[in-house]
């Protein structure tokens, strides 16, 4: 089995039980997005990008109960599959620092490889898939779909962000914001398209919701 195939099967197993929109199907789409981006970006370590794209949610506190244990497991997996120490350091730095919630606590400069994986992950938070994942996540966490009395929050830390508010607010609290944070040219173009689709969706949503007085 080649290196990336081993990472893929580990990811499949690790994310099998996820019911929050961070299952293996999400990891697979992030890999596909990263491959699309890499077609027009030269000079990056493709193994690092692909491994980080697969593994990025396997050490996330949303998905695992013990982040330190999960991180050691990923490190051992990479060592056993002949990734170099330099690659392992790069992959861990990417998956520990790329998330939106992490950037609320501390903004760490990502490598070029990290920027590609972050763009690829953020694309999957947008568009039709982004809308569905957000509704699914909100449902699994008991959030209301929409409440005009609850205003979007400008989160300043991860704990408050994890509390969340409503499904519709999440579009304003995160999704529309990240569409403007892409690093690579192909992701910028795709994010613009997906953001426009989400804005059309929101216009239609509010039209159908109607006014409270009616
Ligand atoms: P990151 O992994 O970059 O920190 P999150 O894990 O917070 O990002 O979010 C990943 C996806 O999970 C979001 O794009 C969204 O679809 C869903 N999600 C996360 N938090 C919420 C929330 N409070 N309400 C609805 N969906 C959410
Ligand atoms: Ni992700």
- CA distances for 194 relative to 29, 55, 123, 127, 190, angstroms: 15, 24, 8, 4, 6
Mean pLDDT across 165-192: 97
- Bigger pLDDT: 160 or 114? 114
Dist. CA 201 → ligand 2 center (Å): 22
138 close to ligand 1 (CB < 6 Angstrom)? yes
Residue from 57, 46, 47, 49 nearest 16 by CA? 57
91 close to ligand 1 (CB < 6 Angstrom)? no
Dist CA 81 CA 54 (whole Å): 15
Q: In which band, very low, low, confident or very high, does the pLDDT at 213 lie, cut at 50, 70 and 90? A: low
Average pLDDT score over the chain: 95
Torsion of Cα atoms, 36 then 37 then 42 then 43, to 10°: -110
127 close to ligand 1 (CB < 6 Angstrom)? no
Ligand showing the shortest atom-to-Cα distance for residue 31: 2
Q: In which band, very low, low, confident or very high, does the pLDDT at 84 lie, cut at 50, 70 and 90? A: very high
Express each pLDDT in 13-29 by its tens digit: 999 988 888 899 999 99
How is residue 119 written in tokens?
């763009």
Express each pLDDT in 36-60 by its tens digit: 999 999 999 999 999 999 999 999 9
Dist. CA 16 → ligand 2 center (Å): 14
pLDDT at 158 over 80: yes
Share of the chain above pLDDT 90, in %: 87
Q: Whose CA is nearest to atom 8 of ligand 1?
A: 100
pTM across the whole model: 0.95
pLDDT at 214 over 80: no
Q: Where are any strands of DSSP class E within the chain?
A: none
Rounded (10°) angle between helices 127-140 and 185-209: 60
Mean pLDDT across 76-100: 97
Dist CA 56 CA 134 (whole Å): 18
Q: What is the maximal distance between C-alpha atoms in the chain?
A: 64
99 close to ligand 1 (CB < 6 Angstrom)? yes
62 close to ligand 1 (CB < 6 Angstrom)? yes
């Amino acid at each position: 089995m080649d290196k990336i195939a081993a990472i893929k099967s580990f990811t499949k197993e690790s994310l099998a039980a996820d019911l929050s929109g961070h299952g293996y199907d999400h990891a697979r789409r992030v890999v596909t997005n990263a491959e699309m981006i890499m077609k027009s970006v030269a000079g990056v370590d493709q193994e690092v990008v692909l491994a980080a794209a697969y593994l990025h949610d396997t050490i996330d506190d949303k998905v695992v109960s013990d982040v330190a244990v999960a991180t050691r497991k990923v490190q051992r997996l990479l060592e056993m599959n002949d990734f170099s120490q330099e690659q392992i350091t790069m992959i861990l730095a990417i998956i520990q620092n790329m998330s939106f919630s992490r950037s609320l606590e501390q903004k760490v400069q990502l490598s070029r490889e990290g920027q590609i994986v972050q763009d690829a992950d953020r694309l999957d938070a947008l568009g039709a898939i982004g809308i569905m994942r957000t509704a699914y996540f909100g449902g699994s966490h008991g959030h209301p779909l929409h409440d005009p009395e609850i205003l979007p929050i400008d989160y300043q830390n991860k704990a408050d962000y994890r509390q969340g508010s409503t499904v519709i607010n999440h579009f304003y609290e995160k999704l529309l914001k990240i569409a403007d944070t892409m690093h690579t040219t192909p992701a910028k173009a795709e994010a613009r398209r997906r953001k426009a689709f989400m804005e059309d969706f929101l216009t239609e949503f509010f039209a159908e919701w109607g006014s409270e007085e009616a």
